[in-house]
Amino acid sequence: MARSQRSPDSFESLLRGDAPAQAAPPRGKARRDDANATERFGWGAANAGGPADGGGGSGQGGPLHGGAPAHPGSAHPGYGGYTTAVEPLAETVLLRTRPHARRLVLPVLVLFATATAYGWYGWRLPEEWQNWTAFGAACGLVFFVVLLPFLAWLGHRYTVTSRRVIARRGFLVRHRQDVYLARVSDVRLRRGPVQAAFGAGDVRVIAGPELTLVLHDVPSARLVAELLGELTEHPGQAL
């Protein structure tokens, strides 16, 4: 009785482990086939490279196979090795200023005059009501003529950064206006005789037919206008 010949590739041979080992494809060809197969799905480019580009080369363990990339945070495996984190440029403050301080000359003179007069005549009048009236007048004069103008001057602040021009005004009720340098169409400088004597002036930043930011009575107005002209590529024009 003839023996039945079993094919070495049969299912029973595979179960017994008698199937001959097949020759493995060349390493380079297997790598190319794997890369081509994965690139068809759009996610293989990040893993096809070697250790230099953060891929999962031989012995390195790429991001898709549980390994860590060569440069953590530099590439995302789902976008072909390109980073998805875009860091915005830092905004740098170039100038901080307020209106010219010469507007405080009158409040300071009134403060000295009031203090001197009240120090000489305070509580020396013959009647009590006269003393209280003089005291109330001195307090009102200091509050309305000295303190309020000083607070208004402190509330006006102008800031120029690498991206925009910011104008703030107000102490209790604050108002803020921002103009981005990319929208500025013209920079103009206006100076009166008194402003020219102190080197001050009004700098007008025009960003459209309905948007104009005026930096009122800023010191060193010509330098401020030149700075804004360089940032916006619109040289300042004197009016």
Same domain, 178 and 129: no
Q: How confident is residue 122, by pLDDT bands cut at 50, 70 and 90? A: confident
Q: For 196-211, what is each residue's pLDDT tens digit?
A: 999 999 999 999 888 9
Q: pTM to 2 decimals?
A: 0.59
Domain annotation covers residue 84: no
Residue 218 covered by a domain:
yes
pLDDT band at 28 (very low <50, low <70, confident <90, very high): low
Is residue 74 included in any domain, yes or no? yes
Q: What total number of domains does the chain contain?
A: 3
Tell whether the model's pLDDT for residue 138 goes beyond 70.
yes
Q: Is the pLDDT of residue 228 over 50?
A: yes
> 99 near 218, Cβ under 8 Å?
yes
The answer to the question of residue 88 being in a domain is no
35 or 59, which is more confident? 35
* Owning domain of residue 220: 158-238
Q: Contact, 95 vs 222, CB < 8 A?
A: no
**Domain-embedded: residue 14:** no
Q: Is 37 helix (H, G, I), strand (E, B) or coil?
A: helix
pLDDT, tens only, 62-78: 444 444 444 444 444 44
- Within this chain, do residues 228 and 162 fall inside the same structural domain, yes or no? yes
Backbone CA torsion sign across 34, 40, 44, 48: positive
The C-alpha atoms of residue 172 and residue 115 are separated, in whole angstroms, by 27
* pLDDT given for residue 188 in this prediction: 94
- The whole-angstrom separation of Cα 160 and Cα 167 is 9
Q: 177 pairs with which residues across the strands? A: 167
pLDDT higher than 50, residue 105: yes
The whole-number average pLDDT for the span 5-26 is 52
- Which range of 8-12, 41-45, 176-180, 235-239 scores highest in mean pLDDT? It is 176-180
Tokens encoding 115 = 């203090």
